[in-house]
Amino acid sequence: MLHKICEDRSIDEGSTKLFTVNKDDHNLSILIGRKNNILFACDNYCPHRGASLSKSQLSCENDRLVCYLHDFEYNVFSGKLEKIPEKWKDQSQEWKNSGDLMIYRIFENDGAIFVDIP
């Protein structure tokens, strides 16, 4: 189902913004951002331990969002976990386990941004 989120000019290049979307009487926290002039949308919750990704930074070097809590790096377009920092190499595999970032299809139309939330 398509949800209108905001006006397209409200998301600057290299930035993210947090929005709340109501779906089936539940509030979802969705992070919208723009990288290399391409929009993306993902859940606000880090799939590692649930940190709020709205406090995290987009990398200057690639298409990754770097979680502020443990610095795991997720591709904002594919959702894939692409890097676990070397500093965690001695942590257990169980601790390092993480799913991928939940991403949503996103569209710009007539000056507005829409996200498809299944």
Query: Which residues lie near ligand FES (CB under 6 A)?
Result: 46, 48-49, 51, 67, 69-70, 72
CB atoms within 10 A of CB 34: 20
CB atoms within 10 A of CB 52: 15
CB of 1 to ligand FES, least distance (A): 28
CA–CA distance, 25 with 45 (Å, rounded to integer)? 19
CB of 44 within 8 A of CB of 31?
A: yes
Give the phi and the psi of residue 95 in degrees, each rounded to 5. -65, -35
- CB nearer ligand FES, residue 8 or residue 71: 71
CB of 59 to ligand FES, least distance (A): 14
- CB nearer ligand FES, residue 44 or residue 114: 44
CA angle 27, 29, 87 (to 5 degrees): 145
CB of 118 to ligand FES, least distance (A): 24
CB of 25 to ligand FES, least distance (A): 27
- CB nearer ligand FES, residue 6 or residue 69: 69
